[in-house]
Amino acid sequence: MSTLSKLTLTAAVKPRHIPDVQQRRNKLIHRIWEQTELARAQIEGRIFTTTRYRSVKDPQTGLRKQLEVPKRLRPWWFVAEDGTVCINIRYGTKPLEIIKGKTGIVVKSPDDVVRTLELIKQAVAAGELDDQMAAASGALKSGFAR
């Protein structure tokens, strides 16, 4: 029993599921990480790709197998007519409305994209965009209803 007495024990139980709010935060934080890495890669002049698994049927055997394929990433930013860079934070395929009627963030140069995405990631982790994500999620779900 002397060996076990050296350990710190607790009665904590692992939660069975993650709350919807936390799932939305995790999803958006992961997408922001992808965009940050894509921006860093473009600044450094290299290519950034992530992979995903796709299930395909083998024509010879008829069995399904998992293939790892590159994921297509589209940048969330674009250069406006006046030379400024605009960033649209996207939830799914729709731009996230950061404040009422405003979906874009203006930065001065492409180098500022990474810093701005990091700030948005901190805001998402702190729960500052929970209401906007809930509204976007609700709009996304309503598209699937019959």
Q: Where are the alpha helices (DSSP H) in 6-111?
A: 20-44
Q: For 67-84, what is the mean pLDDT?
A: 90
3-state class (DSSP) for residue 105: strand
- What does the radius of gyration of the chain's CA atoms come to, in whole angstroms? 21
Amino acid identity, position 36: T
Q: For 9-26, what is the mean pLDDT?
A: 88
Residue 89, pLDDT score: 92
User: Whole-angstrom Cα distance, residue 123 to residue 143?
Assistant: 27
Q: What is the DSSP letter of 39?
A: H
Q: Report pLDDT digits (tens) over 95-142.
A: 888 888 888 899 988 889 999 999 999 999 999 988 888 888 877 777
Instruction: Find all residues with CB under 8 Å of 32, minimum gap 6, and list them.
Output: 89, 117, 120, 121, 124
The pTM score is 0.79
Q: What is the DSSP letter of 4?
A: G
Amino acid identity, position 123: A
Q: Report pLDDT digits (tens) over 43-71.
A: 999 999 999 999 989 888 889 999 999 99
